[in-house]
Amino acid sequence: MRLTSFSDFGLRTLLMLGSGEHDTWSSAELANKLNVSRDHLIKVVQRLAVGGYVQTTRGAGGGVKLNRRPAEIRLGEVLEWLDGNSPLTECFRDDGGQCLLAGFCALRSKLDRARKMFYTELNTWTLADCINPALEEFAALSLQSL
């Protein structure tokens, strides 16, 4: 198992947004800070926006900011939301996938329970539990270097 790059950068984006003393980041600032392409970052931000985790505004002075307080963002919930479009295995796809064992595999239900335990464990923490002075310092530095 591994996190998709999409979900991974989703979490990192939230870490940045929750750490800065400034509210709003441009996508260029975030992409630069996280060392990821702006295109990839924008897709991640769009997914977070649809889930209600961030707000985006267009135009001069616009950008991305958190739509909830860090203490209100449970890590398992937001990761499950980010993971929404990437099935755990072939047989978790909406169309049922291509695995020939799908009709009689007893593994799927067990993987699904384990997947839920993964998110449940992460739900014991919020984004606020991940914010610390070093992260805030790193987030603040980004603005000066851009």
Mask for 117-146, x = binds a second copy (CB under 8 A): xxxxxx--x---xxxx-xx--x--------
Q: By CB under 8 A, is residue 28 in contact with a second copy?
A: no
Q: By CB under 8 A, is residue 86 in contact with a second copy?
A: yes
Other beta carbons within 10 angstroms of residue 43's beta carbon come to 15
Q: Which of 94, 100, 144, 145 binds a second copy (CB under 8 A)?
A: 100
Which residue, 60, 83, 70, 63, is CA-closest to 10?
83
What's the distance, Cα to Cα, between the start and end of the chain in Å?
35
Q: Do 18 and 24 meet the contact criterion of CB atoms below 8 Å apart? A: no
Q: Which of 1, 21, 58, 145 binds a second copy (CB under 8 A)?
A: 1
Q: What is the DSSP letter of 4?
A: -
Q: Which of 21, 35, 144, 145 binds a second copy (CB under 8 A)?
A: 35
Other beta carbons within 10 angstroms of residue 130's beta carbon come to 16
Q: Which residues bind a second copy (CB under 8 A)?
A: 1-4, 7-8, 11-12, 15, 33-35, 75-76, 79, 83, 86-90, 98-101, 103-107, 110-111, 113-115, 117-122, 125, 129-132, 134-135, 138
